[in-house]
Chain A
Amino acid sequence: MDWVLKDLAKWNDKIEEIAQQCGLDYYPQEFEVCDYHDMLGYQSYVGMPSRYPHWSFGKSFEKQNTMYKLGMGGLAYEMVINSNPCLAYLMIDNPLAMQILVMAHVYGHNDFFKNNINFSHTRAEFALETFKLNANRIRSFVETPSINYEGVERILDAAHAISFHVDRNQRIVRLSEDQQKEDYFHQINREKDNWDELKSQDQETDFIPALSEDLLLFILENSRFLQSWEKDIIRIVREETLYFLPQMETKIMNEGWASFWHYTILHKLNLPPEMHVDFIRSHNQVIRPHVGGLNPYHIGFHLMQHLAGNSNSFEEDINPQIFDIRTIDRDSSFLRRFLTQDLMEELGLFEYEKNNGKVSVSNVSNDFKGWKEVRDTLIKQVGTGGIPIIKVKGVSPISNALYLVHEYDGRELELGYVNKTMQHISTLWSNFPVHLETKVENKEVTCIFEKGNFRVEGNEETKESA
């Protein structure tokens, strides 16, 4: 350890000065020094110092610990929590040059959390307290004799299975069915006449309400049999997902933004030469391309640097446009707006196709037509694009069966997983049947989980009725 806390504080003041000059707007910052064991711990709880107990976090710890020991997965250099004041962890083993880089990087994240619109609903002021309260609440259920650990685990396991099935973009306000109806009639009948009220019965059949992709909320609002503590657990899981979701949706932007700023700030810091070399080496390690994969740091940094105006932007004026971009975009819109063919060629992006274990290149960036395909495929897999969209169709009145539909976009669901996941949904739906419409090998099918059994049926009947 070539530093003491005072050194960090000294460098931090310099970093903050530059950050403010550059126009970064961040929450007050707090740093906590920790060792690798703590860091692994924070990582497995997604950074939250207090979260409710569940074995999946233990599994995550074991996995990361094993990978770390085998040298397969590097440990995060830092970890930043979206909270106000912003909390960040520094690894005790890192040398001073690394700590400086990390601190500068943290201010980038901090600024992003505060200003990006996707984070506006996460209530950073209360984040740590909310998680702590949730953890306490779940612990209190564990300690309740009639519920105890097994009861809580049953609901948590099930709720985790569909935890990502919430409204992905919280900025899009979900209208109630009445509001939707109003909008609908407003559109088809701009000039509402007096007869409308009377005619509405007829027209209502044409109105199809937008389906909700918020499975957890639907279950919370419509289940007639869940007990209040069960609903509480589901509510907690949903709330925590909504908190983490923006981080998933802005991974490339967020890391690109932070990397851009640590790069810029460190160049303005006038580091001693030997530290500068260390810094450049660490920086390149972070933003190097992962051939055959995607490194969000690599893509994000490249794009941000390009948008800032110049590859040596730290010497010149930074294009203020990037501050707007960091405010209003998320990964998918960011890539769609700014990933040009030139940039893609520079990044060496390509599209591959899997076919029976054979992976082949299907499109490359330097193709005048194909590059768009590559970009669109990339956009599909960033953020929460890798998570299938499942929507709630409704509940059948007699059997109380829950009807879900998978929004098929060319990617098929893994049926083995569908089986188990539907089993979990059935648990949350008080063991009533669950139906899911999807496509397998281009045929419409319905997966049914009923009375502990899973089966897949062809869709003849539904076609007739539809």
Chain B
Amino acid sequence: MAIFKEFSKQKRDRSAADRQRHKELVKEKIKKGISDVIANESIIGQDKDKKIKVPIRGIKEFRFVYGNNSGKGAATGTGKEQKGQVIQDQNGQPQKGQGKGEAGNDPGEDIYETEISLEEAIQLMFEDLELPDMDQKKFFQTDTEVMRKLLGYQKKGIRARLSKRKTMMNRIKRMKAKGINSNALTQNDESFPFHNDDLVYRRLQVDTEEHSNAVVLCLMDTSGSMDQTKKYLARSFYFMLYTFLQTRYENTEILFIAHHTEAKEVTEDEFFHKGESGGTIISSAYIKALEIIEERYNPMLWNIYAFHCSDGDNFASDNKKAIEHVIKLSQVCNLFGYGEIKPDIGFSWSTMLDEYKKVEEENFVSLRMRTKESVWPALKKFLNKDKSNTLMD
């Protein structure tokens, strides 16, 4: 005689807490891998709503398992199998995930892809920067006087804003109070001088407009020595910088200055895809950048971020001039950075990194990028320098 227990409508969700914890772990995992995905070439310059696939290696439960590549197994068949018959041929098919990490007994179990929008991905990426939760925008506003008007009166002020009319009226009031007939004054030739208390000044109302503008100046060496891999790293960096600033400022502009021995402003496409030959004079780019800032981007109105990517080859004679202009640029920019791209490990003939060590400006950063993986740390380091400007506080 068995006991039966009626179905209880009361909802029990035993696994809720464990599921929550699993989700947290997955999210952490995505965060860790996201910069790799973002640095991926195909998404740079894409629309924000574009969905990207993020491969998550999953939260695996590691155990000792047998490898998947070789080995034997038994299975149920139709009974018509012939010895030597090929059942499955995975060759030519792309390997899922990292192949190596797959479990032998149930392959692919833990690897799954989630689809998130680029914006979400960027959000996650910047969560990694561990910025505090606060209204981020307000730190990056610049207040600019856009209008002055005279509004109201005050007792103190500068002479230029003296309100003659009000002052005169005050004097007349005082006169009346003393019972002096103003008409009589002129006749009696008595004087009734202005008193300090009579003086009234106009009040000046200053209207400020809040600006939240940023411009990213991308400077890059397009000389012969900059090959595609180097450009690709630079491009990843600019993309991340640009996207990051977009999340902070209402209005973000980007412009590209390519240089070899001379600098010019170019379009994005030209910037990344046109190769030039010849030597390198770095200062030319800085001069060009300074010119553009002068013309179009008043540092009062704009938060200027400039970053220069180069492989560090420069005419030695130009080094001194370059450093001078680095200092000048640092003064007008929120942040100015120099990234030296040296994908190949080994001895490098010339490097600007050593030269730039002499620069003592607080908002100047020089760093080195070797691989795709180093782009994100480089960006972090770059942005961290902005502490003085409360960007990262």
Contacts and interface: CB of A to CB of B under 8 A. Distances in A.
Interface of A: 5, 8-9, 12-13, 16, 28-35, 37-38, 41, 44-45, 49, 53-59, 61-62, 85, 92, 153, 160-165, 289-295, 298-299, 345, 347-365, 367, 370, 374-375, 377-378, 380-381, 386-388, 390, 406, 410-418, 420-421, 423-424
Contacts of B71: 353-354, 410-412
Interface of B: 1-7, 11-15, 17-23, 25, 59-79, 81-91, 93, 98, 100-105
Nearest to B91: A357
B104 A386 contact: yes
Contact of A418 (B15, B20, B64, B74): B64
Contacts of B91: 356-358
A57 B19 CA distance: 7
A425 to B, nearest CB: 10
A293 B85 CA distance: 17
Please provide the 7 A-B residue pairs with the shortest distance between their CB atoms, ordered closest to farther. A58-B18, A357-B90, A348-B79, A58-B19, A420-B62, A378-B74, A58-B22
B22 A411 contact: no
A413 B67 contact: yes
A57 B3 contact: no
Given A349-B74, A414-B101, A418-B64, 9 more contacts: A33-B4, A37-B11, A53-B17, A291-B75, A349-B75, A358-B88, A387-B64, A423-B62, A424-B62
Contacts of B21: 53, 55, 58, 153
Contact of A421 (B62, B75, B81, B88): B62
B265 to A, nearest CB: 49
B89 A413 contact: no
B76 A31 contact: no
Nearest to A165: B64
A30 B2 contact: yes
17 contacts: A32-B4, A33-B6, A37-B13, A53-B21, A59-B18, A61-B18, A160-B61, A162-B63, A293-B76, A350-B77, A354-B73, A358-B91, A359-B87, A361-B87, A386-B66, A386-B105, A406-B64
A406 B87 CA distance: 31
Given A291-B77, A412-B66, A415-B100, A55 B18 contact: yes
Contacts of B66: 386, 388, 411-414
A414 B68 contact: yes
Contacts of B5: 30-33
B63 A164 contact: yes
Given A351-B74, A377-B74, A58 B89 contact: no
Contacts of A378: 74
Nearest to B85: A361
Q: Is the interface of A mostly helix, strand, loop or mixed?
A: mixed
A44 B1 CA distance: 29
A9 B5 CA distance: 11
B64 to A, nearest CB: 5
A147 to B, nearest CB: 16
Contacts of B89: 357-359
A388 B65 contact: yes
B3 A85 contact: yes
A161 B63 contact: yes
A153 B15 CA distance: 16
B75 A352 contact: yes
Contacts of B65: 386-388, 413-414, 417
Given A164-B63, A351-B72, A29 B2 contact: yes
B25 A55 contact: yes
A421 B11 CA distance: 37
B75 A293 contact: yes
Nearest to A40: B15
B15 A45 contact: yes
A386 B68 CA distance: 12
Task: Name which of A37, A361, A365, A375 has the most chain B CB atoms within 10 A of its CB.
Answer: A361
A56 B17 CA distance: 11
B18 A9 contact: no
A59 B100 contact: no
A375 B87 CA distance: 19
Contacts of B90: 357-359
A434 B37 CA distance: 34
A349 B76 contact: yes
B74 A31 contact: no
A375 B104 CA distance: 20
B81 A55 contact: no
Contacts of A359: 86-90
Contacts of A292: 75-77, 87
Contact of B74 (A38, A290, A350, A367): A350
Contacts of B83: 361-364, 367, 370
A360 B78 contact: no
B329 to A, nearest CB: 42
A417 B74 contact: no
B230 to A, nearest CB: 31
Task: Name which of A363, A380, A414 has the most chain B CB atoms within 10 A of its CB.
Answer: A414
Contacts of A44: 15
Contact of A41 (B6, B13, B59): B13
Given A360-B85, A367-B83, A416 B100 contact: yes
A59 B77 contact: no
Contacts of A367: 83
A147 B348 CA distance: 51
B2 A16 contact: yes
A81 to B, nearest CB: 13
B67 A348 contact: no
A387 B61 CA distance: 14
A414 B100 contact: yes
